[in-house]
Chains A and B, each alone.
Chain A
Amino acid sequence: MAFSQAEVLAGLAEIVNDETGIATESVQLEKSFTDDLDIDSISMMTIVVNAEDKFGVKIPDEEVKNLITVGDAVNFIVSAQG
């Protein structure tokens, strides 16, 4: 069963909260992981791996650098569900 954009955003917000302590309501589509949420590259990779587990998708290493905003990640996950 595919996750909707809203479900992916909510799930991703929980993962970000678990890794960094950032409040889930702060994890919004237009927020930049680096500039707005202050998430470093190592935490980003932990978030990516946990998102892969949660949503059953594969996010290649070379794709991670393209995930600038939360929206980028949500859209990638939604489309990668196949």
Chain B
Amino acid sequence: MSQPVLNQYDVVKYSRIYSLGAARGDLTVTNDDIAGPIDSSDEWIRQRTGIITRKRASADRSLMDMAVEASNEAIKKAGIDPSEIGAVLFSTITHPFATPSAATLLAEKIGANPAPAYDISAACAGYCYGIAQADALVRSGMAKYVLVVGGEKLSDFINPTDRSISFLLGDGAGAAIVGPSDFPGISPTVWGSDGSHWDAVSMTGSLIDFRDGKVAWPTLQQEGQTVFRWAVWEMAKTAKKALEVAGVQAEDLSAMVTHQANIRIIDELAKQLKLPESVVVARDIVYTGNTSAASIPLAMHALLESGEVKSGGLALEIGFGAGLAFGAQVIVLP
């Protein structure tokens, strides 16, 4: 008796982002609101970060609330039924449970149950990691539509007296629906990690140390100069590589949407890439703050909503952060 030939997935040639959704914190936090504990000022914070206000979520607005809101908008705009979602990927570092994942609850809340669902821990690179995986899942035939969410409630993990990163941080969630396409809508992803700088962006301690009374509630911290050097000059190389593998030039782009880490990083990165003036550089950080995994979809959503960029244009998106982890791809704007 001969052995049967296995079925395998039928591959799909192209994928694209169908739509985006966004949800931000409900509180507008000014520099004056937070300057006291870090012995700083509105001017100092603006000059070093570009931030004028940041959005943070009040106690009764959870990470899941923002993720559901952003996801529902993306699903509605994509014109699909949530039951058609074949996978839910939730990039976050602020889901306050080691297990179960945030993604399974999100899938349940948006009507995507029983889709496979899992979290991605890649910090500020998380959204680009998610898009990379969604692209692979769709084109491999494993899922027709994939929901990618980058969401954070970073305000739960800040120290008001920390001068390294806390004053930058905001809360929000961005969502994207990725699905099959008649044209190439997501380039190959340039992604990777550098664990030799594992401590460059980190927590002040582990939960075990907190349990044992060795550290206060763990909050985020960073080595600013190390991160700045890496985020600009190493990420400039990554961005150039992403353009190369996508087969496009900088002048072909409608927009560059980087992780909204700090305006100085964004501006220096744009300078290193010698972007022509026609390329819109996302600066959502000015009024949203740094929202880690949420920052790229939030910034892209804002550019589309304001009409600064149009559907169909090309955007370079590049995420980078704790790990260190990074990911970049060129996408056709939904």
- List residues of chain A with CB under 8 Å of any chain B CB: 40-42, 44-46, 48-49, 61, 64
Q: Which of B84-92, B146-154, B218-226 contacts A (4 or more CB under 8 A)?
A: B218-226
Give the dominant DSSP class at B's interface.
helix
For B228, list chain A residues within 8 Å (CB).
41-42, 45
Chain B residue nearest to A19 (CB atoms) is B268
Chain A-chain B contacts (Cβ-Cβ < 8 Å), number: 26
CB contacts under 8 Å to A, within B228-277, are 228-229, 232-233, 262, 264, 268
Give the dominant DSSP class at A's interface.
helix
**Are B48 and A61 in contact, with the CB atoms below 8 A?**
no
**Are A42 and B226 in contact, with the CB atoms below 8 A?**
no
- List residues of chain B with CB under 8 Å of any chain A CB: 47-48, 223-226, 228-229, 232-233, 262, 264, 268
Point out the residue from B225, B232, B233, B268 that lies within 8 Å of A41, measured CB to CB.
B225
- A48-B223 Cα distance, complex, nearest whole Å: 16
6 contacts between A and B (CB under 8 A): A41-B224, A41-B228, A42-B225, A45-B229, A46-B232, A61-B229
**Are A46 and B226 in contact, with the CB atoms below 8 A?**
no
**Are A61 and B226 in contact, with the CB atoms below 8 A?**
yes
Chain A residue nearest to B230 (CB atoms) is A61
**Are B268 and A61 in contact, with the CB atoms below 8 A?**
no
Closest approach, in angstroms, between the C-beta of A42 and any C-beta of chain B?
5
Closest approach, in angstroms, between the C-beta of B158 and any C-beta of chain A?
20
Further 4 A-B residue pairs, CB within 8 A, beyond A41-B228, A45-B229, A49-B229:
A40-B48, A41-B224, A48-B229, A61-B226
Point out the residue from B223, B232, B262 that lies within 8 Å of A61, measured CB to CB.
B223
